Amino acid sequence: MSNLSPQADSASKILTEALPYIRKFHGCTIVVKYGGAAMVEESLKVKFARDLTLMKLVGMNPVVVHGGGPQVGAALKKLNIPTRFVNGMRVTDAATMDVVEMVIGGQVNQEIVALLNHHGGKAVGVTGKDGGLIRARQLKLSQADVGLEASEIIDIGQVGEIEAVDAKVLATLMRDGFIPVIAPIGAGSEGEPYNINADLMAGRVAEALKAEKLILLTDTPGILDAQGATLSRLSAEAAGQLIADGAISGGMLPKTRCALEAVAGGVGSAQIIDGTKPHALLLEIFTDAGIGTQILAKTE
């Protein structure tokens, strides 16, 4: 009969369960897309920072790519700059791009860096413009992309798509023990800034770093089946079929496509998890059951 208290017994079981995963992922790169409620609610922010710091302390190499759309929206409203969306993407003129750089590249990025450092991490903030990390070009939409038949190109301003990722600056930071925190802004051929979707940037960064895992924090439990239950594990083929069948739609669609592109590009696995759960990262990485939906190139 155990002489341990129930709390101590529970803690020892948790640590025992975590040990094989600490060994498995020691030295591995894990890219985390940080956004949603986990980036807004104070208690979740603290838990995220502690989780990420623990990952680093046990020998993993976490990299954070963050969003900031709501914060940009609030700043634009305060400055009386109108906001317009096309196909879910913010039309980004020069004035809006200035706000994006100020809020996402400055305020939000530095808040996350300060949060991690306060809780024992050693974080450094960068944007895709730093060290030639992200080379981008203007994303061009045709009217066909927004449901019209004509092929006329729609100009949505300084919204970018990624041409190339040069991860040397990230490799240098990680080698020196830092946690890179990346704002989703890239640079064009003439140095012009582009606003880039954070999910897509996280996926491309994970590919460039040959990451073991890409983890996308969302406000939903993961990919759901027809009965509303979370699908815990999917092959890329099965996930693609769910998209084709229309079972994956709305906000989950771009995240699933991002996960599929990542595993196709060599990332070990991609997880879509519920960032509203306290310690979501630890539950995903260090427990047998995990949480959310894991997407792999192939499943056994």
Q: Whose structure tokens read 């590919």? A: 207
Q: What is the mean pLDDT of residues 271-281?
A: 92
What confidence tens digit (pLDDT) does each residue in 165-221 have?
999 999 999 999 999 999 999 999 999 999 999 999 999 999 999 999 999 999 888
* Edge-first strand listing for the sheet containing 29-34: 123-127, 179-183, 61-66, 29-34, 213-218, 269-274, 293-296, 233-235
The residue whose two tokens read 């995240």 is 255
Nearest 5°: the CA angle 196, 197, 202 is: 100
Top-confidence range, 14-28, 97-111, 247-261: 97-111
CA atoms within 13 A on the CB side of 42: 0
Q: Which residue has the tokens 């129930």?
A: 6
What band does 159 get if pLDDT is binned at 50, 70 and 90?
very high
Domains of the chain with bracketed CATH: 24-296 (3.40.1160.10)
Residue 197 has a CB neighbour count (10 Å cut-off) of 21
Q: What is the pTM of this model?
A: 0.91
191: left (phi over 0), alpha (psi -120 to 50) or beta: left
